[in-house]
Chain A
C-alpha cells in the first residue's frame, strides 16, 4: 500500500470528507512525526508503536567496491518499535494462514 492508496481508501471509507482534506490529514500525520524526530523527540502511539531516534557512533566504514577505509561520521537514525497490540495482531492468526495474504502483498509491492 502506498501513501496515495492509503488516501484513496480513507476517502472512500469517509465520503463526508473532501479528498483534499483526507490528503492533508495523512500528510500532516507523517510530517509531524518526521518533524518531531528531527527535533530529537519521541513519538509514541500506544498500541501502534513508537518512533524514536538513535545515535550511531562514528566508525570506520569501507567502500564496498574498492575496500578502502572511509570514516563515517556520528549520525542519528530514525527507529520504530512496534507497539504491543499491533505486534499481537500480526500474530493472532496461525502464521501459515497468512501465506496467501503475504504472497498478494509481495506481488502488489
Chain B
C-alpha cells in the first residue's frame, strides 16, 4: 500500500500555492505544530468536511500484560481521538454525498 508522507504533502503545497519547495515544507510543519499546540493545551480542532480532533482524559485502570498475565496499573492520561466527518466517511467509501444517520432509517 502506498504511504503518503510529509514530502508528498509539501510537494502538493508547492504545486498548488506556488511557494518555494523549502517554504512549502516549512509551512506544513508550522500547520502541524499549531495543531499540536492547540491539542496540547486541551483544545479540540474542528475541520469542517474533514473531522474533529479532541483530547480525552482517561482515568486510572488496571491493565494486564497479555503475555504474562501480570496486572499493571495504567495511569490517568490524555489521549487524542479523531472523529471523521460524514463527508470524509462518504469519501473513503467512494460516495459523493454524506450518508445521514449512519445508514439507518434511510428512505
Are A90's CB and B40's CB within 8 A?
yes
Within the assembled complex, what's the spacing in Å between the Cα atoms of A108 and B54?
A: 13
Which of A6, A13, A72 contacts B103, CB < 8 Å? A72
Residues 80-105 of A, flagged 1 when their CB comes within 8 A of B and 0 if not, give: 10100011011110010010011011
The interface size of chain B toward A, counting residues with CB under 8 Å, comes to 55
Are B46's CB and A109's CB within 8 A?
yes
Are B4's CB and A41's CB within 8 A?
yes
Residues 23-38 of A, flagged 1 when their CB comes within 8 A of B and 0 if not, give: 0111011101110111
**Given contacts A26-B31, A29-B9, A95-B57, are A78 and B51 in contact (CB under 8 A)?**
yes
Collect the chain B residues with CB atoms within 8 Å of residue A86's CB: 36, 39, 80
Collect the chain A residues with CB atoms within 8 Å of residue B82's CB: 49, 51, 78-80
Within the assembled complex, what's the spacing in Å between the Cα atoms of A107 and B65?
A: 38
Q: Which of B1, B4, B44, B48 has the most CB of A within 10 A?
A: B4
Q: Would you give the shortest CB distance from B41 to chain A, in whole angstroms?
A: 5
Main SS of chain B's interface residues?
A: mixed
Within the assembled complex, what's the spacing in Å between the Cα atoms of A14 and B43?
A: 22
Collect the chain B residues with CB atoms within 8 Å of residue A40's CB: 1, 92
Q: Would you give the shortest CB distance from A5 to chain B, in whole angstroms?
A: 9
Within the assembled complex, what's the spacing in Å between the Cα atoms of A90 and B104?
A: 36
Are B80's CB and A30's CB within 8 A?
no
Residue of A nearest to B27 (CB): A25
Residue of B nearest to A77 (CB): B89
Residues 1-22 of B, flagged 1 when their CB comes within 8 A of A and 0 if not, give: 1111110110011001101000
Residues 43-63 of B, flagged 1 when their CB comes within 8 A of A and 0 if not, give: 111111111010101000000
Are A28's CB and B12's CB within 8 A?
yes
Tell me if B35 is interfacial: C-beta within 8 Å of chain A. Answer: yes
Given contacts A32-B9, A65-B105, 5 further A-B contacts (CB under 8 A): A6-B45, A30-B49, A78-B89, A80-B84, A86-B36
